[in-house]
Chain A
């Protein structure tokens, strides 16, 4: 058993988790909820072992580095963080329908990582600039932030769906959207996720700056990746201020959660493939 096999299995288990949560949500099969949770937990453990094994394999190849250093590994870690964060959320708030909206994203990330021809999946050694412990801290902090923003965007979508259903004044006891949590709860968890993400994104930008300074002597050089992470940071700063000081809530915040997520995606993916810059590491 090698890490690629385990991570390949993970892709399918997340697909299956997605189906379980979706069926649970659409048909309100409550018994299925428990199964979905346990199944997802097992999938997460398989993925954890897969990531750990990849780390071990890199040592066997004489390269020896944390599995967080190229596009493939970061997408895998991204999926891992989304699922881990989601499970914590489910455990804390006891709301399983959120799984029907976040697990598909984790599955998509894994599917992209495992199948896309753009991505190199082999364990390659690190060029000199990437041989730094700051890299690990930087990647981990950024991706916890990204995962939180991903979950926030999923909650934003749930909010908008619920809101539309209420606005249409459909029979409020029927229809599958009815099992969505109340608007107030959705709004509050979205906000919490954005706060959590904001702190981690801040830490990610700071650790990135420290790393750049130790490698090149400049903590900030306005390269496209840095600039886009700052743009993303601004979007969430605006959201937090609008909510806290101007009392924005509900629909507007839900949309901002989605806009913020678009900025995250662009920072993470768009910059590597659509723009050019210093952050060459993601592109291989």
Chain B
């Protein structure tokens, strides 16, 4: 697993990703428009920034801008201080390097190929630019999976043989295998049990402590409050002042 080096960023403390007035708006059905307006965000290495908001508030669009999947209508998106869309005509941004930003999806069982043994999924990003023998891939997968508490899991197992929480760990390991500077996670715990979700939150925190910047989207304010260093709340495509919601009624607490 490659650790993000300081050359990946503008400087040791420069932001991994910065958006300045990024705007992307589009029409959804006959009932309205969706998107984000004037989205400003800066994430430093090792920082976890949470995006919260109702469905339709623009969280996902904001995340797509941050991960350079979507091109903004106006405004800038900078990776390590460089505008990724400068001088680009098509839809492929100029990344500082391949694997600079990696995604983690909501549903781990559908983000892994159901026909692939998990060692193949985990090591796939490593094989984009170089050929690896099967034995090497298996060994690499074992090492990486052991790092996230999956040492007992058979690397030849299929995703369907794993629990949801285990699959999400595999998906995170796959995202980390290229040593990304930025991890974007869209509702990474929403489809998991509380016990598995707690494990995933620990894993994301450890990943950030190792220097990776993380942007995480969640509709669950409690998840963000425990996990994120900062929370931006979106409403109708605009960042509103992060409000302090009432503490939810706690179950069975003393």
Whether chain B is bound by chain A comes out as no
